[in-house]
Amino acid sequence: MEEVNDVMIYEVVFFDGWGMMPAYYLVQSVEGPTPEQALAANLEGITREIRERFGLHEGLVHDKQIQETVYALRDNGLVSLRDVAGLR
């Protein structure tokens, strides 16, 4: 994380549990005052990038399924996109 004029940069990771070897993958960086706000502001772009990068066809994997496995890194742990987007 890096501070830029009251805005922080957070790394976003995706847990690919569908692959042969489940793993976390670094997806992109997002900016915002908090990791929750950064994730919420970039929800569609994060989902689209993951879908394209990992070849997750819309008919087989819904956006909600992808979003349930996305996290932002912060000093003391992870922030789940599922919490931010109200997916629980």
Residue 63's nearest CA partner among 85, 38, 80 is: 85
Residues 19-61 pLDDT 10s: 789 999 999 999 999 999 999 999 999 999 999 999 998 999 9
Task: Report how far apart, in Å, the C-alpha atoms of 31 and of each of 13, 23, 40, 62, 85 are.
Answer: 14, 24, 10, 25, 17
- Give the tokens for residue 24: 């976390």
- Domain assignment present for 10: yes
- Domain assignment present for 20: yes
- Domain assignment present for 15: yes
- Give the tokens for residue 19: 């692959």
Instruction: Give the total number of structural domains in the chain.
Output: 1
- Give the tokens for residue 36: 């929750």
pLDDT band at 81 (very low <50, low <70, confident <90, very high): confident
| Structural domain boundaries enclosing 46 | 2-29+38-73
Mean pLDDT, all residues of the chain: 88
